[in-house]
Amino acid sequence: MTDLAGKHFVLGLSGGIACYKAAELCRALIKQGATVQVVMTQAAGQFITPVTMQALSNRPVFGSHDVSGFDAREANGMPHINLSREADAIIVAPCSADFMAKLLHGRADDLLSLMCLARPIGQVPLLLAPAMNREMWAHPATQRNMAQLTADGATILGVGSGFQACGETGDGRMLEPPELLEDIVAFFQPKVLAGRRVLVTAGPTWESIDPVRGITNLSSGKMGFAIARAAREAGAEVTLVAGPVHLPTPRGVRRIDVQSARDMLAATLPCAEQSDVFVATAAVADWRPASTAGEKIKKDGSGHMPQLQFTENPDILATVAQSPRGASGALFCVGFAAESHDLEAHARAKRVRKGVPLLVGNIGPATFGADDNALLLVDAQGTRELARATKLELARKLIAEISTRTGAGA
């Protein structure tokens, strides 16, 4: 899947040590199907060479030597006009504090700033990835500049926090290239859930037998995490309640980590009260040991495992779906069914039993841990298959379905 196929970007580099990350970002954009035209300020050329960026972009680099903004390589000598008109967006990464101030005041004393000023605002978005020392980032002038740039139509992609080249630690680092790529991809996704609040549960649960053993399943959480990402891409405010999995949190998503089914229920209920959509992707254990041993259960030489008594776990989906908000339809509930056989029959029955308008079925052994999946959508009118694809592709299709069914995109 190439999320940016057919897109063309101007990648602008202003001065800063984070220019080394721009090389990886350029490569990542191209691997996602985009074409990239690099434009550098003179200061950027002190940190990374135009030759490096030309090799990665497979295009001549503009602006690093000629501060006038005009270039004889263009027939009309006006790259600030030509290059900006060709772009789907101008991405400035890194964007220094000085360059942000320059943009704020409409200064245009080099090609990159001239191009940002000359771009058609309604057609060519401006995405800024700040990079600076923590004190520069926190300075009131920088914060005022960012607020005004946002009001002027620019999109600020945010910053990371951590160790900085100067030796200090804090906010102001340029985001890592994979983070920037995720934000850029999200920027171009349709905002069909803008203003909506989405709650997603994902992953398995862990039901303890003793301090070192427990009952769980093979769910990786990848489908639920993909749905959380797709919902955020669609403009929603997303909360992800995750069982014990080792997956990075999607950008812009609030994450709550839990262990057991009871933990998940306790985290889900208050969030559901504040949500518009609930997608129950988690593979919640149906049963748990009736009691948990305080110490590791040892073998006794009998050759037999001590008998365990089990009790049923709470049904999270049914509890939420049958709550006042779920039952009234104020909260649109989507269930998941991971089956091993007879998928359609089990999914139909589960939808009715849980009392949800939409249930999504899949074959668990064929998808647990995998990066792709195939889904069966089940509602009161019947069933519809979503052919095997990456989990993110399927998540985006499911979010589009939810938008249509809830009227969010109207």
Which residues are tagged catalytic? 166
Q: Which of 250, 93, 256 is nearest to 159 (CA)?
A: 93
- Give 257's strand partners: 242
Contacts 24+ apart (CB under 8 A), 403-410: 403/192, 403/193, 403/234, 405/332, 405/357, 405/358, 406/196, 406/276, 406/277, 406/332, 408/192, 408/193, 408/194, 408/196, 408/276, 409/190, 409/192, 409/193
Contact by Cβ (8 Å): 232, 183: no
**Other beta carbons less than 10 A from residue 125's beta carbon:** 17
Measured between alpha carbons, how far is 283 from 315 in angstroms, rounded to an integer? 11
Residue 188 — φ and ψ, nearest 5°? -95, 0
CA dihedral 97, 101, 102, 106 (to 10 degrees): 150
Contact by Cβ (8 Å): 100, 14: no
Contact by Cβ (8 Å): 79, 111: yes
DSSP H or E stretch at residue 29 = helix 19-31
Measured between alpha carbons, how far is 236 from 255 in angstroms, rounded to an integer? 14
**C-alpha pair distances (Å), 362 with each of 259, 346, 347, 367, 368:** 23, 10, 9, 8, 10
User: DSSP letters along 251-275, please?
Assistant: TT-EEEE--SHHHHHHHHHHHHTT-
